[in-house]
Amino acid sequence: MLHGAIESPRIAYETWGELSPAGDNAVLLFTGLSPSAHAASSPDDPSSGWWEDMVGADKPIDTSRYFVICVNSLGSCFGSTGPATANPATGQSYRLDFPVLALEDVAHAGHAVVESLGIDRLFAVVGASMGGMTALAYAVAYGERTDGVLLISSAARCLPFSIALRSLQRELIRTDPAWADGQYPFDVPPIVGMRLARKLGMITYRSAAEWALRFGRERATDDVAVAGSARSPTADGAGGRFGIDFEVESYLEAHANKFIGAFDANCYLYLSRAMDLFDVADHGGSVAAGLQRVRAKRALVIGVESDFLFPPQQQREIADGLRAGVADADFKLLPSIQGHDSFLVDMDRFRPAIASFF
């Protein structure tokens, strides 16, 4: 699927727990667009992971029972080969010479990790958001060797509304003059574009209902607004007439600032685009045919009522389609109010839902 080829890509991954003697307790976890493979703390890296509440000993994805492998997506920038890493042919970073990336490629790269660890079957492949699409791609390709499939806030193919939003996020980066057609020095990345893309992303990852409760029409406190404006490269020089006023604006500003230097711009473009390109119908000619190729024993598809980026009918569609090939395919719709990000933050609802699968 790569429109081009990468010689011997390197894939970074982390593991927790131990592979059972029977080799039947391995769980492969794919990530969303921006996380690394560090899903949870470990002896090697005690820092908190992106799914700290979910992965660990006695947690829903119980690392005292399962051998959990989280991969950094091919195309990402946390150790795996991607647009930011060196092209062996030139010694320079691939940048936009990196081939068009498909989530199937990310899935295959994850499989290479599984094989390198001597694992023949997976207890489950798991993912949320982009990770869910990648896990679905994995299940379609390696379904005979995957007993369980757990897909969260995901889709069989993205719809034009989310494609439009991601397209615009990429355009925000590309129209930043500092992006320089992808040739930016790594120490002078397109900060303005990345901050704007992050703000738009944050808006799509939450929900109007959550923010109405959380922020209402509260104004940002003076020191936050001033501090934010002082730090922000977008502060309006004309007396702050159009600077930060409402608390929700301050919240977005803080998230945008945290994203500076947190992710490589070209990697962002490639992975974002890979989400648009993914279509399970590519495998069999229709969504139904593609989903039918998944031959796992069990599947759980979870969706969130307030998710407007990956709306619930998309998870329902996956569950319906999986039933053709998976005897025990379940769909859970959670009433979380935090939108697409609920799997990261609504632990009261997500912990039991995911624990039910393991």
Residues serving a catalytic function are 129, 307, 340
Tokens linked to 163:
């494609």
Cα separation, 190 vs 213, whole angstroms:
33
Contact 43/110 with Cβ under 8 angstroms?
no
CB of 157 to a second copy, least distance (A): 6
Distances (CA, A) of 256 to 165, 227, 320: 17, 14, 38
CB of 252 to a second copy, least distance (A): 6
Closer residue to a second copy in complex, CB, 71/291: 291
List of residues contacting a second copy (CB under 8 A) = 96, 100, 157-165, 167-168, 170-172, 174-175, 177, 181-182, 192, 196, 199-200, 203, 207-208, 211-212, 214-217, 233-234, 236-239, 241-242, 245-249, 252, 269, 273, 276, 279, 308, 311
Q: What is the DSSP letter of 179?
A: G
Closer residue to a second copy in complex, CB, 25/129: 129
Whose CA is closest to 307, among 269, 345, 279? 345
CB of 264 to a second copy, least distance (A): 15
Closer residue to a second copy in complex, CB, 51/179: 179
CB of 248 to a second copy, least distance (A): 4
Closer residue to a second copy in complex, CB, 14/210: 210
Is residue 117 classed exposed, middle or buried when 0-12, 13-18 and 19+ CB atoms within 10 A define those classes?
middle
Closer residue to a second copy in complex, CB, 188/238: 238
CA angle (53 as vertex; 47, 55 as ends), nearest 5: 80
- Per-position DSSP letters for 232-291, written without gaps between them: -TT--TTTTTTS--BHHHHHHHHHHHHHTTTS-HHHHHHHHHHHHH-BGGGTTSSHHHHH
CB of 62 to a second copy, least distance (A): 36
Radius of gyration of the chain (CA): 20
